[in-house]
Amino acid sequence: MIQKDPQDAIFSALAHPARRRIIDLLVRVPGASVKWIASNFKFSRIAAMKHLTVLERAGLVLSEKHGRTRKLFFNPVPIQQIYDRWTSDYSSFWAGRMADIQSRVETRAAREEKKNA
């Protein structure tokens, strides 16, 4: 049996073009209202709210109450986690490169110290 992947919610939230568009809008206008988000679509405010709920459950949208209205924010952290999931294995490559740079910098520093002595 395939185990449920905790990132399923993120991928299914991102699978819908309207929800990706909502994220685009929130990147441009952090703290936008539900009303303003809905005004950018042809579908109803109820439909917009349904999409927002999916995004919120996936942790991609954060909603903050301000009196009677809500301010919406895009949370980029889940996207970063997706990135880290497949790229961290390649970090060892960078570690090797960085170690190279370090030894080159240190060798040069030692050489210059000798020259100045």
Partner 1 sequence: MPEATTQADTQAKFRVEIRGSIEDVWQEITRTDAPIAAFFNSRMEVARLAPGSRLAMRTPDGKYTGVVGEILEYDPPRRFAHTFQFTQYDDPPCTVIYDLEEGANGVQFTLTIADMPVGTKTAKQMRQGGPMIVNTLKAVIETGRPSFGTRVLFGVFKLMAPMTPKKCLSENWPVDTPAATPVERNHP
Q: Which positions lie near partner 1, rule CB under 8 A?
A: 28-33, 35-36, 39, 59, 62, 64, 71, 73, 75-77, 79-81, 84, 87-88, 91-92, 94-95, 98, 101-102, 105
Closest CA to 108 of 75, 49, 85, 100: 100
Minimum distance of partner 1 from residue 76's CB (angstroms): 5
In the complex, the smallest distance separating the C-beta of residue 28 from partner 1, rounded to whole angstroms, is: 8
Task: State in angstroms the smallest separation of the CB of 68 from partner 1.
Answer: 14
Q: What amino acid is encoded at 106 in this protein? A: E
In DSSP notation, 22-42 reads: HHHHHHHSTTB-HHHHHHTSS
CB of 90 to partner 1, least distance (A): 9
Instruction: Give 3-state DSSP helix, strand, coil % of the chain, rounded to 5.
Output: 65, 10, 20
Nearer of residues 20 and 70 to partner 1, judged by Cβ: 70
Given the complex with partner 1, which of 18 and 29 has the nearer CB atom? 29
In terms of phi and psi (left: phi > 0; alpha: psi -120 to 50; beta: otherwise), the region of 63 is: beta
